């Protein structure tokens, strides 16, 4: 059930480097040493993403990408083209060949993972859309292309007139762009309904991170994808932006083709998600969705992890679950009121979703408890992930009505063992959560092994 990524490069060191980077993020990685081999693997294996080197002997990456995108079996798989830093024409050629995005050599870990996560989320939404509309790969291409041809409404938040025009002009070739330099007005526009938002992190008159945080906090604009623009040497601000919940980044100096590709990916995901919501059976949505946080609920979680139990039994594919519980939440409700408590629940839910992998299953299980399933992940790696997210939540205040609140969580983590049912592993994780609470809270602890196993 882990996201499966194919790495294609004729040079073994390049393949090994990318393989190590991606496996460190718990992705299942396949490799190919030529365009021909990539085509063979793409036809045989279920792939979620392809990282394709542009320059290879025999069949280069451009031709391989073109064939993948023209095949009825593989056209839907996102492709990231890997190009030389100085070759702008190669990046343009890659996009013309059907590539969804690109990274440049030498490969920067931060940008690589940003591209990978963005396109994996797009692939996930695409698969969900096809599943819920009853379409197959063979008869869905026209549907998706029709959706993609929609004209998007893009909000650009930038106070520098020259920079604003440089961004807005190429985007206006296909979409309607609203430029706003006043952050208060921009937040109001975001709440009124747009399809994507581009925010400058280098503004002289407002804090771009605060604008992003406000947009993500408001229920009316929370689901709108955000792309931020900043300087390449300001990685810390980019990291903070991702913590807040933004979706993608572009570094200055801006390259037009890169900007258009990034924005188009965000719009595709937004348009697909909108279509998915329109096609959902309303009764089913009421059954499986938590109305407060927009996460799946307990019934959704129980259904979603059934394939993970099947994979554990048939293929010995490990997976783990974790229970996040907000510390002292009853006291928050009693002192600050339920409206304030609801806002905290929404914020914690948003942080959990944006800081877990695209393949992880996140649900509100009840009250202040959140359940997460991590496919393809053993107990040790799940504990590392849980502790990372726990620390992030504790280290970043939650802003409610302009007031900064320190919120912490406790976490219980358990790897599912062979023969276990959900109730068994849930009890072990819940016991670990209880011990974390007893040990002073704001901790992530592992569950004990099942003694009966």
User: Which tens digits make up the pLDDT trace of 401-439?
Assistant: 778 889 999 999 999 998 899 999 999 999 999 999 999
Percent residues over pLDDT 90 in the chain: 52
Q: In this predicted structure, what is the pLDDT of residue 19? A: 94
Q: In this predicted structure, what is the pLDDT of residue 136? A: 63
Instruction: Determine contact, residues 266/153, Cβ cutoff 8 Å.
Output: no
Q: In this predicted structure, what is the pLDDT of residue 134? A: 58
User: Sorting pLDDT into bands at 50, 70 and 90, what band is 189?
Assistant: very high
**pLDDT of 213 over the 80 cut:** yes
55-59, 82-86, 182-186, 446-450: least confident range: 82-86
Fold observed for domain 150-279: Rossmann fold (3.40.50)
Measured distance CA(123)–CA(265) in Å, rounded: 10
| Interior angle at CA 178, CA 172 and CA 182, nearest 5 | 145
Length of the chain as a residue count: 453
Q: Which of 112-126, 186-200, 223-237, 327-341 has the highest mean pLDDT?
A: 186-200
Q: Which of 158, 347, 368, 415 is catalytic?
A: 368
**pLDDT of 208 over the 70 cut:** yes
* Residue 368 annotated among the catalytic residues of the structure: yes
Instruction: Determine contact, residues 436/369, Cβ cutoff 8 Å.
Output: no
Note the pTM of the prediction, 2 decimals.
0.56
Average pLDDT on 139-167 reads: 87
Q: In this predicted structure, what is the pLDDT of residue 115? A: 84
Look up the CATH number of domain 4-138: 3.40.50.2300
Percent residues over pLDDT 70 in the chain: 93
Query: Where in the chain do CATH 3.40.50.2300 domains reside?
Result: 4-138, 150-279
Q: To the nearest whole number, what is the mean pLDDT of the chain?
A: 88
**pLDDT of 286 over the 60 cut:** no
**pLDDT of 135 over the 70 cut:** no
Q: In this predicted structure, what is the pLDDT of residue 281? A: 45
- 209-to-98, 126, 234, 265, 353 alpha-carbon distances in Å: 33, 29, 13, 22, 19
Instruction: Determine contact, residues 181/208, Cβ cutoff 8 Å.
Output: no
- 358-to-280, 284, 295, 374 alpha-carbon distances in Å: 21, 22, 14, 10
Average pLDDT on 208-236 reads: 91
User: Sorting pLDDT into bands at 50, 70 and 90, what band is 1?
Assistant: very low
Fold observed for domain 285-446: Alpha-Beta Plaits (3.30.70)
Average pLDDT on 279-301 reads: 69
């Amino acid at each position: 059930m882990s996201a499966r990524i194919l790495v294609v490069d004729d040079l073994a060191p390049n393949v090994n480097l990318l393989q190590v980077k991606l496996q460190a993020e718990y992705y299942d990685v396949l490799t190919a040493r030529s365009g021909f081999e990539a085509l063979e693997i793409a036809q045989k294996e279920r792939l979620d993403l392809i990282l394709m080197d542009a320059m290879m002997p025999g069949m280069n990456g451009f031709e391989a990408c073109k064939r993948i995108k023209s095949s009825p079996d593989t056209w839907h798989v996102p492709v990231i083209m890997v190009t030389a830093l100085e070759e702008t024409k190669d990046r343009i050629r890659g996009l013309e060949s059907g590539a969804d995005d690109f990274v440049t050599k030498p490969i920067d870990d931060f940008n690589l993972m940003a591209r990978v996560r963005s396109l994996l989320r797009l692939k996930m939404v695409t698969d969900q859309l096809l599943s819920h509309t009853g379409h197959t790969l063979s008869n869905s291409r026209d549907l998706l292309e029709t959706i993609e041809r929609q004209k998007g409404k893009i909000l650009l938040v930038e106070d520098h007139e020259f920079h604003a025009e440089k961004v807005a002009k190429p985007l206006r070739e296909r979409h309607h762009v609203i430029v706003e330099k006043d952050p208060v007005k921009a937040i109001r526009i975001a709440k009124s309904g747009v399809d994507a938002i581009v925010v400058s992190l280098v503004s002289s008159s407002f804090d771009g991170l605060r604008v992003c945080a406000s947009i993500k906090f408001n229920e009316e604009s929370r689901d709108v994808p955000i792309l931020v623009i900043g300087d390449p040497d300001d990685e810390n601000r980019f990291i903070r932006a991702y913590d807040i919940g933004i979706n993608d980044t572009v570094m200055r100096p801006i390259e037009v083709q890169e900007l258009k590709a990034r924005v188009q990916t965000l719009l595709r995901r937004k348009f697909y998600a909108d279509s998915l919501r329109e096609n959902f059976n309303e009764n089913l949505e009421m059954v499986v969705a938590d109305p407060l946080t927009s996460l799946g609920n307990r019934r959704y979680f129980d259904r979603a992890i059934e394939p993970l139990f099947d994979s554990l039994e048939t293929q010995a594919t490990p997976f783990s679950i974790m229970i996040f519980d907000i510390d002292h939440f009853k006291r928050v409700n009693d002192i600050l009121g339920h409206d304030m408590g609801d806002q905290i629940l929404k914020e914690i839910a948003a942080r959990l979703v944006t800081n877990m992998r695209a393949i992880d299953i996140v649900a509100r299980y009840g009250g202040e408890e959140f359940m997460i399933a991590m496919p393809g992940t053993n107990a040790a790696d799940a504990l590392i992930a849980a502790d990372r997210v726990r620390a992030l939540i504790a280290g970043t205040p939650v802003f409610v009505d302009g007031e900064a609140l320190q919120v912490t969580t406790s976490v219980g983590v358990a790897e599912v063992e062979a023969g276990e049912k959900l109730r068994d592993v849930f009890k072990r994780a819940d016991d670990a959560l209880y011990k974390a609470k007893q040990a002073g809270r704001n901790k992530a602890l592992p569950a004990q092994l099942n003694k009966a196993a």
